[in-house]
Chains A and B, each alone.
Chain A
């Protein structure tokens, strides 16, 4: 990707402004992608019949669902790391 923003000028030099822009947009897009995925997962867990308003119980379910998903992801990461550290994983 480092041919981005060279602007046709000094042969392949990275434009730092462009690089910063691409990195920021990539970061934002990764966030959005995760929100799409989490909404999908938590919709399945929390949503009953859609009604005229999202009730408090359902909202709490969504919040808990996101928090526990991240906990799970952290837990899995930590456990895999410690297993890898003790050489249990091959």
Chain B
């Protein structure tokens, strides 16, 4: 690999910087997706009748729902990844 070579010409963006930017933008996009899904799912589960404020039990439910959503995400990720490996082994 050819890490750390100086940017050619000097006018171009440093390659390592560019790669870091790509990675952090992907991370931001994923966080936004998760935020949006969690809000959507936990609102549906926990705020059945929106009142004048988020009451205590609703907040508790949302907190729990977020943790369970993360659990679910991790199970799905693990299962999908194992399945992909199995499918690749079949080829």
Contact = CB atoms under 8 A, between A and B. Distances in A.
Contacts of A17: 1-2, 15
Given A5-B18, A43-B41, A51-B68, A35 B80 contact: yes
Interface residues of A, number: 38
Interface of B: 1-2, 7-12, 15, 18-19, 22-23, 26, 29-30, 33-34, 37, 41-42, 45-46, 61, 64-65, 67-69, 71-73, 75-77, 79-81, 83-84, 87
A46 B76 CA distance: 12
Interface string A1-29: 00001111110000101100110010011
A8 B9 CA distance: 6
B3 to A, nearest CB: 8
Name the prevailing secondary structure of the B interface residues: helix
Contacts, number: 103
A62 B75 contact: yes
B8 A9 contact: yes
Contacts of B29: 29
A52 interface: yes
Nearest to B30: A32
